[in-house]
Amino acid sequence: GAGVSQSPSNKVTEKGKDVELRCDPISGHTALYWYRQRLGQGLEFLIYFQGNSAPDKSGLPSDRFSAERTGESVSTLTIQRTQQEDSAVYLCASSSTRGFRNQPQHFGDGTRLSIL
């Protein structure tokens, strides 16, 4: 009965390095989302996966950002050549697609990324 699990919970890295963030959604949830939350700000949509459909990448801020999902389970968000502006909390959420519009998203605790 676990919720959405994200790892690592904290990541500190030097500018220019690549980072990989992981999300394990709730079992059976076919929809998976990544968001970014900068300090003191709201949530910024990044990317959305739904089953075998092509992902909605419309929120990715640059080509340094990419994400993959293995089937209907784990997803990884990769940021290449990190910049200080990438510092934020990266949140993953999943939801069921039954009665899709009415289903809330369940969020993980996030990965706090700090770029030095």
Partner 1 sequence: GNSVTQMEGPVTLSEEAFLTINCTYTATGYPSLFWYVQYPGEGLQLLLKATKADDKGSNKGFEATYRKETTSFHLEKGSVQVSDSAVYFCALRGAQKLVFGQGTRLTINP
- Residues in contact with partner 1 by CB under 8 A are 33, 35, 41-43, 45, 48, 50, 56, 59, 91, 93, 101-102, 104-110
Q: Which is nearer to partner 1, 1 or 104 (CB)?
A: 104
Q: How far apart are CA 19 and CA 32, in angstroms?
A: 20
- Residue 30: CB minimum distance to partner 1, A: 12
Beta strands in the chain (DSSP E): 5-7, 10-13, 19-24, 31-37, 43-50, 65-69, 75-79, 88-95, 106-107, 111-115
- Residue 22: CB minimum distance to partner 1, A: 15
Q: Which is nearer to partner 1, 50 or 87 (CB)?
A: 50
Q: Which is nearer to partner 1, 19 or 47 (CB)?
A: 47
- Residue 115: CB minimum distance to partner 1, A: 21
Question: Coil, strand or helix: which one is 16?
Answer: coil
